[in-house]
Structure 1
Amino acid sequence: MIGRNRVQVVTEAITLQYANGKSMARPIGGKRFTPYIGFHIEVGRDDELDARLGIAGIPQIEIKHQRQGGAEIVRHWALGETILFYPVTSGPVAQTVAGSLGRNAAATAAAGIGLRWGINDRSRMAVRGYLDLLVRVEMARLVQLSVRSRMSDVLLNVLLDHGRVCEAADHLIDRSSHPDLVTFHELALPLGPGEEEEWGKGETTTVVPFKSLHPAQIDRDYIQRIWRPESVHQAALRDWAGIQAWASEYALQNDERVTGERNDVVETSHEIGR
């Protein structure tokens, strides 16, 4: 039987960015720009998002973007150095970026992880999910965290560590009420700054990559504290097919194509040789 296809809809996601200390920012009305570390979302890209974050009292900052012909100052919502993120993915299929591509490229996309080689063989990676901050203001909409080059290794390691916690949770939850495996979106992934590192070949630069803030020892109380609300679970079930379609498309894109991603703060601040 030939059957009949349904058109897949790829939902646009809110762009979540992370500054690793190379970006310069200042408070609104401030005079001096200083190195900034933390997560942020650009102001003025989504009216509903701006309204919800404004009501929630999230502060704004100005970030200086280096452009051809001069600098541009752009307002962003400053989410702070740490966030809770519910990643919607079935998890990495390999321990390394290179191992996740090649013969595993299709499996990586099917897992809901966007990954490809970009210009000069620099990897580009992205994952989608929900911010706890937005869920708390009843806005369970997808956000996308995109990185490249060495930050792809960082993001992959973060997801691998989250998988470790999900596996631990399998043995700690009430199996009578949750017989299935604990999936990635069912636990909040805490992200925050790691230690300062020197990156680059020859002339190096100091960066502060993000890392998983999960503790080494996982117990039942911790799993209960980071367990997802029902709204996140329902949103993940709703969005999963679209996330897989997006990841497949992401793997086939090239860096010259306009994708809707911002390539400034997250990308250029991480553009340090592998």
Structure 2
Amino acid sequence: MATQHHNALTRALAELPGPLPAFGVIHIAIPHTSRFTIVGNHLAQHAELSLVAIGIGVHIQSLPVGSLVGIKALTARFAEGERRIAAALRELEAHGYLRRAHVRLANGRMATRTIFCNQPGALERAGRVVVAPKVPPAVPEGAPAPPPAPEPDPVPESHPPVRVPPRTAPKPPRRPLPQPRELTPELRQTASAILADLRNHAEELVLSEADVEELIPGVAAWLEREVRPDAIRHALTTDLPKPPKHPAKIVRHRLTALLPPPLPGAEELAPAARRPLVIPLQNCDGCDRAFRSREPGHCRGCQGELAAAA
């Protein structure tokens, strides 16, 4: 039996067009006639999904509509534990393959629909959900028919179609890079030196010449506000993410978000001079002589006469 398999493999390799590679995998592609699922390379070769997430994604895509794909159901099917399967489902949801939508049933109760999208990018561009029914695979003549898939809960016809919100809210516009009032040659030279020297203090911050040229105004704005170069260097190199994927973006963000205010001037720092208390002059209602008082009325002499008369 093993000899037959070996001979068949040898013949299949001999029929492959072109020279065989010296190393690496060799594909022998035999067309499927039944029980197969088309999977995009964007999922099968996803650069950020784990192998468990890719495998579960392919498995879910191969299932008929109405199949249970919760953590309990997948744990009963595969050897991975609940934690790994739950983490894999979160990965698929974060990258748009798995969606959950809440719908109201005919009896008024709410139900959660699990939706698997085979092309998240196309879904985002189209802005709508297209649910394509899975065609049951062809069954060879004489083979027992597969058990029917459980029917999903009914959704009232009057209910509007389920729309899945986008994965993330639109990002706010990026804040502009700080600009100095005047980019003098001295400021430009010092700012360029600070940026080029960052990699000597944080090896992750290797900036290209184009990055340095773009970020010079931001550093010049800090220097113009009388921030010392060592303080700028400390703000740009402390507590960096490991590893930073985009060093220039990190530097730009910190130059913008951490920009200190201008130093206050001597007049602003000086305490306010205390003014002497001045009591205004009033004309006495009785004798018309001037006297100092906050309120109009009688002078002291008239007040005494009025008190004695009373």
Shorter-chain TM-score bucket reads under 0.3
**Alignment TM-score, normalising by the size of structure 1:** 0.23
Higher helix share: 2
Q: Taking CA–CA contacts closer than 8 Å with sequence separation of 6 or more, which of the two structures ends up with the larger relative contact order? A: 1
Q: TM-score, normalised by structure 2?
A: 0.21
Query: Which of the two has higher C-alpha Rg?
Result: 2
- Higher normalized strand content (fraction of residues): 1
